[in-house]
Every structure is written in C-alpha cells, then in structure tokens.
Amino acid sequence: MQGASIAIDDLACRRGDRLLFRGVSLRLAAGQALQITGSNGIGKSSLLRIVAGLAPAFAGTVASAGAIGLVDERPALDPALTLGGALAFWRQIDGGDDERHLARLGLDSLLDVPVRYLSTGQKKRAALARLLGQRAEIWLLDEPLNGLDSHAVALTEALAAEHCASGGIALIASHQPFALAGMQVLPLADFAA
C-alpha cells in the first residue's frame, strides 16, 4: 500500500444551480488520514463521490494512485440475500477475504440473516467487512459512525488506524468526531461558494 496517494487541485462541486464548494486543494500520501467536516448539505458526500469517480467535478482535478473502496449510506449488499450470500457475491468480484474479519465485526452469527433484516449498525459493519475484503489502499468513509453503538464506533476508528498504519489512506466525511491520531481536518465550510 505504500504507493497510495490522492491529489486534489482547485476542486469545485456544483449540484443543480448551486455551487457547493470551490478551491479545495489537498494532498494525501500513504499512511495519512483526513476528515472532511461540515454541516449537512455542504458537499462532504459529493466530495467523496468525486474522488471515487462516481460524480463529475464542476472544476478542478482529482488524481489518485491505489484502489478505492467507498462506504456510504448505501451498503451495496443485496437485501434479498443472506448476509453470507451478499458478502460471498462481493468476494467473487473483489477476490478478497472478508471472512477473517467477521468475528471481529460481530457478524459471524448473522451470516444466515437476510440483509433486509439487519439493523443500521449491522449493515454498516457488513459494509466495513466488504471494504476490508477489497484490500483497497484508499478508504472513502462517508458518515461511517452513523447508526453505530460505542463499541462499533471504537472498532471503526481502530480499523481506520490500522489501515493507515499499514500504508493506506483514509478520507472521512463526517460531522461527528472521529478519533484517529495524526488525522488532519478540512472544514468544508471554509470553501463554501
């Protein structure tokens, strides 16, 4: 993971007729983390989607090195499948190994439960299991602590710390505090248009 990087230059985001932010420039190298903060609707999720290549930038450029994994409010797990079946589907595509993380995430006893019956926190932890299985160098985490109890919050923070310690990058969009030593903070309101 040592070659992971993100370079953002003079990025602007427009949704409809509204310019959400402009002039965002930053660099992240292997082992670094950045939390994007701000109120709802300011463009935190949009910034992550632009970095992921899922939404166009209004202006500016984004360049990255390393595979990208995104966890947002849509866990990308088929609600008609059991949790085990949904994770197995992604394991075939990603070629990763999420199984060794299931017990740590408290999911090993839920593999036969349909995804649609999982709680918000369980779905969030399942999305983290998939992310771990992807072995992506760059983690984009959109409001990763929503719906989690205090134990799962601490676990999510620990997983992000381990990811960065192994040379990965974590870009976290959240209005909630996220405990990660050495993490930089970007208040998106400073770039509001």
State the number of CA atoms in the 13 A half-sphere of 142 facing the CB: 20
Q: What is the pLDDT along the chain (193 residues), one digit of tens a residue?
A: 568 999 999 999 999 999 999 999 999 999 999 999 999 999 999 999 999 999 999 999 999 999 999 999 888 899 999 999 999 999 888 876 657 789 999 999 999 999 999 999 999 999 999 999 888 999 999 999 998 999 999 999 999 999 999 999 999 999 899 999 999 999 999 999 7
Inter-residue contact 104 to 155 (CB < 8 Å): yes
Helix (H, G, I), strand (E, B) or coil at 167: coil
Q: What is the pTM of this model?
A: 0.94
Q: Is 32 within 8 Å of 160 (Cβ atoms)? A: no
| Separation between Cα atoms, residue 29 and residue 31, nearest integer Å | 6
